[in-house]
Amino acid sequence: MSENPPEEPPEPRGSLRPTSARALTTCVVVGLVGGWAIHPVLSAATGRAPLVSWTQTLAVVLVAVIMGFLAWHTWQTVQVRGQRLEVHQAMNRLVLARACALGGALTAAGYAGYAVSWLGDDSQLADRWILRAVIAAVAGAAVTLASLALERACRTDGGRPQP
């Protein structure tokens, strides 16, 4: 009776799916409803509408620029030059990309909903808050797009040899 040595199982190979449209849509719906509701709710509760400052708006723009640069840099490293990222770097970038894609969608929709809540308001501040909220919403959408680009830039062939 000959014993064959037990075969070692192959090394597990995992894969991550891209951020789903369902998750992004959920964030957009929650953001729109929350952004639209915050104006009347806080106005009724405190007597003042929440302010949208240029600092808030520029912070979202800054995140969009950072995510865009990181996506471009990662694309150049992985896709153009064919270099591999360290495992922890790739995972960190994927987690950051997914979190910022969802957060950017929520932020964009929240500011868009807030801007819509000011439409038809005759107060002197309405135009100011609408402008700032719209710019922040566009920046939030840019964060989402740059984050999805970063997620795509991290894709590899999974170690399969090229023909």
How many domains are contained in the chain? Answer: 1
Determine the pLDDT at residue 11: 62
Within a domain: residue 33? yes
Mean pLDDT throughout 2-25?
Answer: 76
Residue 74: its pLDDT value, please? 95
- pLDDT of residue 76 exceeding 70, the answer is yes
Q: Has residue 162 been placed in a domain? A: no
The share of the chain scoring above pLDDT 90, in percent, equals 62
Proportion of the chain in helix, strand, coil states, percent, rounded to 5: 70, 0, 30
| Residue bearing the bigger pLDDT, 94 or 161 | 94
* pLDDT classification of 12: cutoffs 50, 70, 90: low
Mean of all residue pLDDT scores within the chain: 89
pTM assigned to the model: 0.84
User: Mean pLDDT throughout 121-145?
Assistant: 93
Q: Is 144 exposed, middle or buried (0-12, 13-18, 19+ CB in 10 A)?
A: buried
Tell which wins on pLDDT, 52 or 14: 52
pLDDT tens for residues 78-129? 989 988 888 889 899 999 999 999 999 999 999 999 999 999 888 888 889 9
Sign of the C-alpha dihedral computed for residues 126, 130, 136 and 141 taken in this order: positive
